[in-house]
Chain A
Amino acid sequence: MAPTAQAAQIAQIAQIELAGIDRSFTVGDSRVHALSALSLTIEAGEYVAIMGPSGSGKSTLLNLLGLLDRPDAGHYRLEGRDVTTLSADEQAAVRRSRIGFVFQSFHLVPRLSAAENIALPLTLAGIPPAEREQRVTRALRDFGLEERARHRPDELSGGQRQRVAIARATIMQPALLLADEPTGNLDRHTGDEVTQLLEALNAAGTTLIVVTHDPAMGSRARRQLMMEDGLLKSDSGQRTGLAGEPQTASRPAG
């Protein structure tokens, strides 16, 4: 890429570009199409809710976005780089540095303290202990968990657990935060707190993609994607004046 063209190119590159994604599973002796011919573009800093009934393919989509799963066909460009062709270890490196996950059931390691859980991504990235401690201390302070640093997950409330999980997901300062029903296991009040926390992170520039059943939570997002039978039913994506235009046709590929 020529240096002169670089700035213009970067401005054009969307954070996420899915083109013609197919993903099907074999259940018994029949093929189930979890996703078919899906194309989608998401810009950096967007707040997207993926909604739809069970089995509509929204979780599969989230797994694909998070590089936990590979499409059978199609291409996924993350920050302009085709990540579908990367090896498993290269994908792991991308997950480590660019993507944060928040799960419905928190997925904290039960034998590790809150601080150690938060430090896990840093440990996996091989960041030296001194810097690790510094960043974890800051994260604990930011998420109001200072008092709970030494507690194990079973000594924390649901809200605290999800805060630990979010702190862990953001400790590497990822560009993309993927949340799978982040409030699904929480009561409404705690759920609202967690939602606000995620929205604050989005306001600070992190792209936030939430899979949810909850229409209330979905409606808070600036853009809603409705999924059904592996197809994108509707997309409220009207950023930068592209109202009504289908996302697939909104811009040329690449």
Chain B
Amino acid sequence: MSPADTLRFAGRAAFAYPLRTALMVLAMAIGVAAVVVLTALGDGARRYVVGEFASLGANLVIVLPGRNETGGVNAGSFITNTPRDLTLADASALLRAPLVSRLAPLSAGNSEIAVGGRLRETMVLGTTADYLAVRHLALAEGRFLPRESFGHAGAEAVIGGTLKRELFGNEAAVGRMIRVGDTRLRVVGVMAASGQGLGFNTDELVIVPVATAQAMFNTNTLFRIMVEVRGRDALVPAQRQMEDILRSRREGELDVTLITQDAVLGTFDRILGALTLAVAGIAAISLAVAGILVMNVMLVAVTQRTGEIGLLKALGATGGDIRRAFLVEAALLSLAGALAGYGLGQLGAWAIRLAYPVLPAWPPDWAVTASLGTALLTGLLFGVLPARRAARLDPVQALAKR
């Protein structure tokens, strides 16, 4: 039998039992769709997190208080276990490192913001003028915080686009007075829409001078210091300079953590990549189950069509002809299932993207290739046994059975 005829014959056979074929295709489709959707979800999460950190910029070092890992024993370890706070004085000291180009100390907290009668809970971020440049943000109108000494608690604020819309509507916001907590501030600028970024949604943020924020929350600690270094190559030496400065300010103990975008990115990439792989593995189990189903369905088909197989043999079909016909039928079922599953999976991923626009839930190419390949391979693999059984049937007995 020519390949085209074999294909047509197997196709006719598959369509002759529509319910059986539909159920089989569905089982295979669910397996493939599960892989596609779950890897889309996993990979979407990975891309989301990676995107978050990538938006920080490559020259950034983040300083946060506390240190989890022990870097050996030194004099400081015996004195105290509680980490010292990160202060504005630390920030000023870091600015003296030759490889640091600029930095922005951050102090954050939640507070109430009020304009006229309108009241809203919001996040307040205390920082300095350089924050704009360090985070590569842009203003929609007005200006950013003025350049002044860290300790100066100016009564000025820059608000996010969403806040502006909710509090002022279409009226101009720049120049208006707002109340944050108990502090009255003048709005000097509105941030351009930028969306999510490292946990803060700048669209819903009130940005005030760092000293103002510290006074507001009655603290002198910093949440974080964002440091921009002079170029990518300077990242490692700059980190060393900063560690030296901070260590000297902390009686020889380095109880702060310095992280770079690369390190964070690499870690998250690895963790979430492994997660995606694990999820894909679990989903692949359903593919194996579908493969066993293919085998069962094809074994039933051989029993059902024993008389037909006997006839084909009487008409001069070789064992190879019959084996190929059944194998192609199994392959067709798997292929249809795989394609349907791919469509279903893409639909599911699209639905996820629709429901969570921030999540770039696209199934990775490797997952699509692997699931389609696995579906076809299991279909063929589990189709071999039934096909061989069909080819080996004794024509006399096969013809007698009907």
Q: Which residues on A are within 8 Å of B, measured CB to CB?
A: 63, 66, 68-69, 88-89, 92-97, 101, 103, 105, 107, 109-112, 120-121, 123-126, 168, 172
Establish whether residues B315 and A121, one from each chain, have CB atoms under 8 Å apart when the complex forms: yes
Establish whether residues B315 and A96, one from each chain, have CB atoms under 8 Å apart when the complex forms: yes
Q: B262 on the interface (CB 8 Å rule)?
A: no
User: What are 28 A-to-B residue pairs whose CB atoms are below 8 Å?
Assistant: A66-B314, A68-B313, A68-B314, A68-B395, A68-B396, A68-B399, A69-B396, A88-B318, A89-B318, A92-B316, A93-B316, A95-B313, A95-B314, A96-B315, A96-B316, A97-B316, A101-B314, A107-B308, A107-B399, A107-B402, A109-B308, A109-B311, A111-B12, A111-B13, A111-B15, A111-B16, A123-B5, A124-B1
Q: A123-B1, A123-B9, A126-B2 are in contact. Are A107 and B317 (CB under 8 A)?
A: no
Bound: A105/B307 CA distance, A? 10
From B391, which residue of chain A is reached at the shortest CB distance?
A88
The A-contacting residues of B in range 267-298, CB under 8 angstroms, are none
A-B contacts, CB under 8 A, total: 70
| Size range of the chain B interface in the assembly | 20 to 34
Chain B residues with Cβ below 8 Å from A103 are 311, 399
Establish whether residues A112 and B12, one from each chain, have CB atoms under 8 Å apart when the complex forms: yes
Bound: A238/B121 CA distance, A? 114
State the Cβ distance, A70 to closest chain B Cβ, in Å.
Answer: 10
Instruction: Specify which of A110, A111, A120 is in contact with B312 (CB 8 Å cutoff).
Output: A120
Establish whether residues B316 and A124, one from each chain, have CB atoms under 8 Å apart when the complex forms: yes
Instruction: Specify which of A88, A89, A95 is in contact with B315 (CB 8 Å cutoff).
Output: A95
From B316, which residue of chain A is reached at the shortest CB distance?
A96
Q: B321 on the interface (CB 8 Å rule)?
A: yes
Chain A residues with Cβ below 8 Å from B5 are 123, 126
Q: B319 on the interface (CB 8 Å rule)?
A: yes
State the Cβ distance, A119 to closest chain B Cβ, in Å.
Answer: 10
The A-contacting residues of B in range 1-58, CB under 8 angstroms, are 1-2, 5, 9, 12-13, 15-16
Chain A residues with Cβ below 8 Å from B310 are 107
Establish whether residues B315 and A168, one from each chain, have CB atoms under 8 Å apart when the complex forms: yes
Q: B320 on the interface (CB 8 Å rule)?
A: yes
Establish whether residues B402 and A105, one from each chain, have CB atoms under 8 Å apart when the complex forms: yes
Instruction: Specify which of A63, A92, A101, A168 is in contact with B317 (CB 8 Å cutoff).
Output: A92
Chain B residues with Cβ below 8 Å from A168 are 315
Bound: A121/B320 CA distance, A? 15
Chain B residues with Cβ below 8 Å from A107 are 307-308, 310-311, 314, 399, 402
Bound: A203/B398 CA distance, A? 32
